[in-house]
């Protein structure tokens, strides 16, 4: 409870001169009309009106100073006093009006608030969340009032993604909706979370993937890819995925400021957050001579743009969808069984392990952390092992794809020579 120290005010200057103290305290209007001001240690000042209704004392919060002057606050107090005289509780009336406003809030409007207050504030890389909102959630729920969204609406939204053949993405949509409605419950916008009626196990059952490309599949896929009409940066990006072992999101967010050609190092300042700690880790990628040449080619295309893989608008990078589409387009031109871009990491890891390289060095390239006690004490970067290993891996891949794609690589070399 705020402390009543006997402070009073009668003018705006006297209100202004009320200074914050260690604890919250109140000051009364000299008119003795029930209007008072709460002053918090932070300096925030809030107008309120204390009155008696049905033999009980109630408090109505009016607004903040200086947004409301003393004159405005007194006028709002007089209007509230008239309601009391008519047998109406100003506090209860305000609650009813707020509830009426809540009933008209559309999901899209709430989504914009959630984006501002949660996604953009808490997520280092909000692109995927924003994509799910735009492409999968707003088209289904955006026009519906929050109070009217039920379990069936949630189920239709999630199952629409499942019917497209993307069970894992459907689970991501469910997760985002759950967090959004959890926050809505906290704000008092809805009484309960309808997403809880749809367990994760009904949406997506995780199955560990073991798909990787054989040497023959690597040769076939990249020969087809380089012979296609796909945009050159997409082709080179898919090759970098195999050569560097980085995650798709890390590759697409690559910036020129983080690439040091002289030191042959690519610094990734933020990687995928650890599932247990929630913290992302800085990662160093040691670049082979082939990777350096690919980045230099990409630089001639990107120009002065900050990102390696330039998006549709200046200052942005390409979307994951654009990258996925390029991979699937090239795959459709072959008879190779389906694989994802993420499977290229497993492809590299599998071949490197089969070739007898240091397992810890490979795991470090994947930015994996060892489990248990070993993970706690083993903080080695394995730079001495990783640098030659990454060069040998690039040499191996190019031994498979260079000759079949001689025309493509010659064009790259000619373009580089012409730019010198």
At residue 57, the 3 state secondary structure works out as strand
Is residue 189 within 8 A of residue 146, CB to CB? The reply is yes
Of 303 and 128, more confident? 303
pTM above 0.95, yes or no: no
Instruction: Name the band, by pLDDT with cuts 50, 70 and 90, for residue 186.
Output: confident
pLDDT, tens only, 33-49: 899 999 988 888 999 99
pLDDT, tens digit, 9 for 90 and up, residues 310-353 = 988 888 899 888 899 999 999 999 999 999 999 999 999 999 99
Tell me which DSSP letter residue 275 carries: T
SS3 content of the chain, % helix, strand, coil (to 5): 55, 10, 35
User: Where do the CATH 1.10.150.130 domains begin and end in the chain?
Assistant: 107-202
Average pLDDT of the segment spanning 57-86: 90
25: number of Cβ within 10 Å: 19
Top-confidence range, 213-217, 382-386, 406-410: 213-217
For tokens 């390029």, what's the residue?
A: 326
- CATH superfamily, domain at 215-419: Intergrase catalytic core (1.10.443.10)
Q: pLDDT tens-digit profile of 134-170?
A: 999 999 999 999 988 999 999 999 999 888 878 888 8
Helix axes 215-227, 320-332, angle to 10 degrees: 100
pLDDT of residue 293: 93
The correct CATH number of 3-97 out of 3.40.50.170, 1.20.1630.10, 3.30.160.390, 3.40.640.10 is 3.30.160.390
Question: 60: buried, middle or exposed (CB in 10 Å: 19+, 13-18, 0-12)?
Answer: buried
- Per-residue tokens: 211: 């798909």
User: Which residues make up the CATH 1.10.443.10 domain(s) of the chain?
Assistant: 215-419
Higher pLDDT, 329 or 377: 329
Task: State the residue for tokens 């969204």.
Answer: 149
Distance CA 343, CA 71 (A): 68
Taking residue 68's Cβ as centre, other Cβ atoms within 10 Å add up to 17
The average pLDDT across 227-237 equals 94
State yes or no: pLDDT of 395 exceeds 70: yes
Buried b vs exposed e over 236-256: b needs ≥16 C-beta within 10 Å?
A: bbbbbbbbbbbbbbbbbbbee
Q: Which residue has the higher pLDDT, 116 or 4?
A: 116
Contact (CB, 8 A) for 119 and 129:
yes
Residues 378 and 370 sit within 8 Å (Cβ to Cβ): yes
User: Closest Cα partner for 397 from 288, 323, 235?
Assistant: 288
Greatest Cα pair distance, the chain, in angstroms, is 93
In 3-state terms, what secondary structure has residue 9?
Answer: strand
Beta strand extents in 24-175 (DSSP E only): 25-29, 35-39, 45-53, 56-65
pLDDT at 405 over 90: no
Q: DSSP 3-state assignment of 236?
A: helix
pLDDT band at 4 (very low <50, low <70, confident <90, very high): low
In degrees, rounded to 5, the angle at the alpha carbon of residue 127 between the alpha carbons of residues 125 and 132 is 130
The top-level CATH class assigned to 107-202 is: mainly alpha
């Amino acid at each position: 409870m705020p402390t009543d120290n006997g402070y009073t005010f009668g003018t705006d200057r006297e209100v202004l001169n009320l200074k914050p103290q260690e604890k919250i305290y109140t000051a009364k209007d000299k008119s003795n009309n029930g209007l008072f001001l709460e002053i918090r240690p932070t300096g925030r000042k809030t107008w309120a009106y204390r009155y008696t209704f049905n033999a009980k004392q109630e408090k109505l919060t009016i607004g903040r100073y200086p947004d409301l002057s003393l004159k405005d606050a007194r006028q709002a107090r007089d209007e509230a006093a008239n309601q009391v005289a008519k047998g109406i509780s100003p506090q209860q009336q305000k609650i009813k009006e707020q509830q009426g406003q809540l009933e008209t809030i559309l999901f899209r409007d709430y989504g914009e608030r959630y984006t501002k207050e949660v996604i953009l504030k808490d997520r280092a890389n909000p692109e995927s969340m924003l994509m799910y909102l735009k492409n999968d959630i707003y088209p289904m729920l955006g026009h519906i009032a929050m109070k009217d969204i039920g379990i069936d609406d949630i189920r239709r939204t999630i199952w629409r993604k499942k019917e497209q053949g993307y069970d894992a993405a459907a689970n991501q949509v469910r997760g985002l909706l759950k967090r959004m409605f959890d926050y809505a419950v906290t704000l008092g916008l809805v009484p309960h979370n309808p997403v809880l009626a749809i367990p994760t196990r009904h949406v997506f059952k995780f199955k560990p993937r073991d798909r990787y490309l054989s040497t023959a599949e690597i040769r076939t896929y990249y020969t087809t890819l380089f012979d296609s009409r796909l945009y050159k940066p997409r082709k080179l990006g898919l090759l970098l995925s195999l050569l560097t072992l980085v995650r798709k999101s890390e590759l697409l967010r690559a910036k020129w400021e983080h690439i040091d050609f002289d030191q042959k190092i690519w610094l990734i300042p933020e990687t995928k957050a650890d599932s247990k700690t929630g913290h992302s880790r800085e990662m160093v990628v040691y670049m082979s001579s082939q990777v350096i040449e690919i980045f230099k080619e990409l630089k001639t295309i990107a120009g002065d743009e900050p990102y390696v893989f330039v998006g549709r608008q200046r200052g942005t990078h390409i979307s994951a969808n654009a990258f996925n589409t390029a991979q699937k387009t090239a795959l459709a031109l072959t008879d190779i069984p389906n694989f994802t871009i993420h499977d290229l990491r497993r492809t590299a890891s599998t071949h490197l392990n089969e070739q007898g390289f240091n397992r810890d060095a490979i795991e470090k390239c994947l930015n994996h952390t060892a489990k248990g006690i070993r993970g706690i004490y083993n903080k080695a970067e394995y730079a001495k092992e990783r640098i030659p290993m990454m060069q040998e891996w690039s040499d191996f891949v190019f031994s498979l794809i260079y000759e079949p794609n001689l025309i493509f690589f010659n064009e790259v070399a000619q373009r580089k020579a012409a730019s010198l």
